[in-house]
Amino acid sequence: MPLPDDQPAFQPRPGWLEALAGLRADLMTFFTSTQIGLKRDAFERFCTRLAAFRQQTASESPRWNCWYLEALTVWEAEAAKERHNLVDQAATLEPIAQNRYRAGTSLRPESNRPVFFGREEQDEPAQLPP
């Protein structure tokens, strides 16, 4: 439902709706991630953005921000619980070494040098048997 243009006290400042959309995007990234390390990183970004969004919301009009601040308090409490669960999951599921390989993108030695560790440059191309 669009907000009424003739009620500026009920309109959020520019950027508020975009910040809310960013929160949603971070949360969706968290929910769709399958690797525990990536999932934890996405959730940390969400929590950081959530704290900034609370500050941004607190500076909005008191005619409407109080309802959002109450909801954000609940979000932050639930996020603290989820963070605790993620720490527990990471302790039991995270591999000893982080996986350096990425699925879906081609690797290039010039830009992904750390992935090609332990490989020597060849002076001559390998000869195939006839």
The Cα 89–Cα 76 span in angstroms is 20
- pLDDT (tens, 9 = 90+) of the chain, 130 residues, equals 565 565 566 778 889 999 999 999 999 988 898 888 888 888 999 999 999 999 999 999 888 888 899 999 999 999 999 999 988 887 787 555 666 666 666 767 676 666 666 666 666 666 666 6
Calculate the alpha carbon distances from 129 to 118, 122, 126 in Å: 26, 18, 10
Q: Output the six-digit token pair for 77.
A: 């409490």
Q: Per-residue DSSP letters for 88-129? A: HHHHHHS-SS-----SSS---TTT-GGGGTT-PPPSSPPPPP
> What is the reported pTM?
0.62
pLDDT of the residue at 125: 61
pLDDT of the residue at 119: 64
3-state DSSP call for residue 62? coil
pLDDT of the residue at 44: 92
Where on the phi/psi map is residue 105: left (φ > 0), alpha (ψ -120 to 50), or beta? Answer: beta
Calculate the alpha carbon distances from 23 to 2, 52, 97, 106, 114 in Å: 20, 10, 30, 30, 32
